[in-house]
Structure 1
């Protein structure tokens, strides 16, 4: 398992995109000001990603009645693994609270599962989908 992304779940995506592109001067690897997701090169193997908060809440089903869970996430730590299903099963067995089971997310280009750490931070294990 390796930490591949730190994903900030932002309210004002366009402003955040401009900040990291224009003020911080991080090269854009993927995405644009008009998308709901972008990745930046921060000079290390781990990338910084921006995701519109509402888009992640929709994907996890935490909109509506669960809108306050937990204050709609602000950050997610992403770990790339060789086998999402096996890693997810190991995490469940070890006691990690699962938010969403392994599933293909074709729009994202990954298979992913989501968990929470003891403080409620959102964790994702993923692997690129086979093409």
Structure 2
């Protein structure tokens, strides 16, 4: 697994986009001020991404799913893998708590599965759809 993204799940997407693009001057690789998702070059193989918080909560049905967790996540750590299904099966077999089984997220251009660590943080294993 390679950590490919740190994804911040933000409430005020437009203000955060302007902060990272205009204040920090990070080059925008994907998205814009209104797209609700953007990726920034942080001079590393790992990218920084912003995602409108509600978009992720709706996609993973976490806005009401578990009373022990915040209604919407604040961040996700994204690991790129060669085989999402095999990695997800290995993680489940090892005892990882799966949030969403592997599936194609065509709007996002990825195949991904989602998990939680023991403290409830959201983890994604994914690969680009090509």
Same fold (TM over 0.5): yes
- Does 2:96 align with 1:86? no
CA distance in 2, matches of 1:68, 1:39: 31
The total of aligned residue pairs comes to 129
**Aligned twin of 2:7:** 7
Q: CA 1:38–1:9 in 2, change beyond 3 Å: closer, same or farther?
A: same
Q: CA 1:43–1:68 in 2, change beyond 3 Å: closer, same or farther?
A: farther
5 Å-filtered alignment, 1:54-73, equals: 54-63=54-63, 65-66=64-65, 70-71=69-70, 72-73=72-73
CA distance in 2, matches of 1:69, 1:53: 18
Contact 1:27 1:40 in 2 (8 A): yes
**Aligned twin of 2:32:** 32
How far 1:66 sits from its partner (Å)? 3.0
Q: CA 1:67–1:91 in 2, change beyond 3 Å: closer, same or farther?
A: closer
How far 1:69 sits from its partner (Å)? 5.9
- Structure 1: gaps of 5 or more residues: none
**Aligned twin of 1:42:** 42
**Aligned twin of 1:125:** 125
CA distance in 1, matches of 2:42, 2:51: 16
- Structure 2: gaps of 5 or more residues: none
Contact 1:81 1:87 in 2 (8 A): yes
Contact 1:17 1:33 in 2 (8 A): yes
CA distance in 2, matches of 1:75, 1:69: 17
CA distance in 2, matches of 1:7, 1:106: 18
User: Any runs of at least 4 consecutive aligned residues in structure 1 with deviations exceeding 6 A, and if so which?
Assistant: none
